[in-house]
C-alpha cells in the first residue's frame, strides 16, 4: 500500500502554504504566507527546511515578491524580479537547491521575455509548480534506485531528516524506506536525533512512525555503539550540496557518521537529486557552510543549557569527503568510483 504523505510546501490561490516544521511533532500547523519577507523568514527559521523543499519554497516565495512588479515593460519587470530573487538567495547559503530553483525561475523569465509581463508572471507560476511536481517524480526514482542496494530485514541508520516533508514527496534518503514498506519488507531504521535542532528526533521518527516503519531513536553519540553491535547494514543520508569532486555537505554530524561507517565496514550512501549537485563548486572546501545563532545550542527549545556568555561554534552543516562516500544515489541511477568523472555524465543527454 502506498504511504499517505503530507505535502509540506504548496501554493494555492496566490498563497504559499508551508507545514511549520519547527512545531512538529507537537503541532501540525500550516502557515499561510503572502509576502516574500515571510517566505524568507520561513526558510531562515527552518519552518520549511530540507534542500529540495527550500528550493520549492523559494520558487513560490519569488511569485509573492513579483506580484506587484511593473508590467509596462520586460526590462522594468526584470529589474524588480532580480531584486526579489537576490533577496531570497540570502536566506540560507548551503543548500544549492535554493539557488538552483531561483536560476530556473530566472531562465524561464528570460525565455518568456517577448510575452506581455502578465503572461510572464503566469509562466513563472507554472514553472514553480513544475519544480514541485518534478521533485515528486525525482524522489520516487531515487527511492527505486536506492532500494536496489537494500534487502529485507536490514538495519539502516540515517541522520537529520531527508524525508517526505523535506521534499515534494517521498524524500531522498527516506524514499527507499517507504518503497520497502510498500513491498512489505521489514527494514529497521535507526534515526540519529541530530543535534542541535533535532530534525532526526522530531521529524524523521514522526514521519516514519506515521508510515508504520520500524524506527528507533538514538542520540548522535550512540551511532558508534549501534554499529559495533552489528545492527546497521547501511547508512543513507540526504545532502545539501554535492561538489564536482563528490564531496558532500549535509547536516552537521554527517561527517562523523561517515567515519564511523568506514570504521565498521558499513556502506555510506548519499541520496541526492540532480538539483543538489553543483558542478560549479569544485570541492567541499568551496561549499559555503551556514553558521547559525549560538542560542540554538545554549538555549535550544527555550531551556538554557550552557552558561551565559559562553563561546559557541554552531555550523549547521559539515562536509564528508568523497573517499568516504560509497555511492551517490540520484534519480538517474547510482554512481560510484571517480565522482569527478561520473557526476558530469548525469547532466549529459
Q: Which of residues 163-182 bind ligand MRU (CB under 6 A)?
A: 166-167, 171-172
Q: Which of 52, 55, 196, 200 binds ligand MRU (CB under 6 A)?
A: 52
Note whether 58 binds ligand MRU by CB under 6 A: no
Give the contact letters, 190-219, x = binds to ligand MRU (CB under 6 A), - = no: ---------x--------------------
Note whether 162 binds ligand MRU by CB under 6 A: yes
The one-character DSSP state at 2 is P
Distance, in Å, from the CA atom of 193 to the CA atom of 158, rounded to the nearest integer, reads: 10
Catalytic residue among 240, 247, 278, 318: 240
Distance, in Å, from the CA atom of 319 to the CA atom of 252, rounded to the nearest integer, reads: 8
Q: Is 199 annotated as a binding residue?
A: yes
The string of DSSP letters for 151-182 reads -TT-EEEE-S--SGGGSSSS-STTHHHHHHHH
**Cell triple for residue 149?**
542496494
Q: How far is the CB of 207 from ligand MRU (least distance, A)?
A: 12
3-state SS, residue 149: coil
Note whether 233 binds ligand MRU by CB under 6 A: no
Note whether 239 binds ligand MRU by CB under 6 A: yes
Note whether 91 binds ligand MRU by CB under 6 A: no
Q: At what angle do helices 96-111 and 74-88 cross, to 10 degrees?
A: 170
Q: Which of 131, 146, 160, 258 binds ligand MRU (CB under 6 A)?
A: 160
The set of residues, in sequence order, having a beta carbon less than 8 Å from that of 32 and lying 6+ positions away, is 15, 16, 17
Q: Is 314 annotated as a binding residue?
A: no
Tallying the residues shown for the chain, one arrives at 349
Q: How many CB atoms lie within 10 A of CB 23?
A: 13
CA 184 distance to own-chain centroid: 27
Note whether 138 binds ligand MRU by CB under 6 A: no
Q: Which of 47, 49, 195, 322 binds ligand MRU (CB under 6 A)?
A: 49
Distance, in Å, from the CA atom of 216 to the CA atom of 191, rounded to the nearest integer, reads: 6
Note whether 51 binds ligand MRU by CB under 6 A: yes
Note whether 55 binds ligand MRU by CB under 6 A: no
Is the CB of 109 or the CB of 271 nearer to ligand MRU? Answer: 271
Q: Which of 50, 164, 176, 284 binds ligand MRU (CB under 6 A)?
A: 50
Taking alpha carbons only, the member of 236, 266, 74 closest to residue 143 is 236
Residue pair 82/109 in contact (Cβ under 8 Å)? The answer is: no
**Cell triple for residue 11?**
501554493
Distance, in Å, from the CA atom of 337 to the CA atom of 325, rounded to the nearest integer, reads: 9
Q: How far is the CB of 43 from ligand MRU (least distance, A)?
A: 9
Residue closest to ligand MRU, measured at CB: 238
Q: How many CB atoms lie within 10 A of CB 250?
A: 29
Give the contact letters, 301-330, x = binds to ligand MRU (CB under 6 A), - = no: ---------------x--------------
Q: Is 152 part of the annotated catalytic residue set?
A: no
Q: How far is the CB of 154 from ligand MRU (least distance, A)?
A: 20
Q: Which of 9, 19, 24, 46 binds ligand MRU (CB under 6 A)?
A: 46
Asked if residue 25 has a cis previous peptide bond (ω within 30° of 0), the answer is yes
Note whether 121 binds ligand MRU by CB under 6 A: no
Q: Is 44 annotated as a binding residue?
A: no
- Residue numbers at the binding site for ligand MRU (CB under 6 A): 46, 49-52, 95, 160, 162, 166-167, 171-172, 199, 238-240, 250-251, 316
Catalytic residues: 240
Amino acid at each position: 500500500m502506498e504511504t499517505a504523505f503530507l505535502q509540506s510546501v504548496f501554493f494555492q490561490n496566490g498563497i504559499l502554504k508551508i507545514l511549520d516544521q519547527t512545531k512538529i511533532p507537537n503541532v501540525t500547523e500550516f502557515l499561510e504566507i503572502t509576502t516574500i519577507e515571510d517566505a524568507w523568514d520561513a526558510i531562515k527559521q527552518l519552518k520549511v527546511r530540507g534542500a529540495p523543499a527550500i528550493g520549492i519554497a523559494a520558487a513560490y516565495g519569488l511569485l509573492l515578491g513579483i506580484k506587484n512588479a511593473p508590467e509596462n515593460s520586460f526590462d522594468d519587470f526584470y529589474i524588480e524580479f532580480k531584486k526579489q530573487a537576490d533577496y531570497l538567495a540570502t536566506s540560507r547559503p548551503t543548500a544549492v537547491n535554493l539557488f538552483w530553483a531561483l536560476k530556473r525561475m530566472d531562465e524561464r523569465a528570460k525565455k518568456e521575455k517577448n510575452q506581455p509581463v502578465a503572461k510572464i508572471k503566469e509562466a513563472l507560476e507554472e514553472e514553480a509548480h513544475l519544480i514541485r511536481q518534478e521533485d515528486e517524480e525525482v524522489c520516487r526514482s531515487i527511492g527505486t534506485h536506492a532500494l536496489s542496494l537494500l534487502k529485507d530485514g536490514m538495519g539502516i541508520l540515517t541522520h537529520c531528516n531527508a524525508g517526505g516533508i523535506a521534499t515534494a514527496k517521498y524524500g531522498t534518503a527516506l524514499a527507499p524506506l517507504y518503497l520497502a514498506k510498500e513491498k512489505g519488507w521489514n527494514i529497521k531504521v535507526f534515526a540519529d536525533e541530530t543535534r542541535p535542532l533535532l530534525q532526526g528526533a522530531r521529524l524523521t521518527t514522526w514521519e516514519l512512525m506515521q508510515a508504520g516503519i520500524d524506527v528507533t531513536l538514538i542520540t548522535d553519540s550512540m551511532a558508534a555503539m549501534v554499529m559495533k553491535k552489528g545492527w546497521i547494514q547501511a547508512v543513507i543520508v540526504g545532502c545539501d550540496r554535492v561538489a564536482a569532486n563528490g564531496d558532500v555537505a549535509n547536516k552537521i554530524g554527517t561527517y562523523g557518521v561517515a567515519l564511523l561507517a568506514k570504521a565498521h565496514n558499513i556502506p555510506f550512501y548519499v541520496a541526492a537529486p540532480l538539483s543538489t549537485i553543483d558542478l560549479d563548486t569544485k570541492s567541499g572546501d568551496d561549499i559555503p557552510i551556514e553558521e547559525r545563532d549560538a542560542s540554538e545550542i545554549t538555549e535550544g527549545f527555550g531551556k538554557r543549557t550552557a552558561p551565559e556568555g559562553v563561546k559557541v561554534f554552531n555550523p549547521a552543516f559539515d562536509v564528508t569527503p568523497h573517499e568516504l562516500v560509497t555511492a551517490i544515489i540520484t534519480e538517474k541511477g547510482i554512481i560510484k568510483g571517480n565522482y569527478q568523472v561520473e557526476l558530469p555524465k548525469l547532466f549529459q543527454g
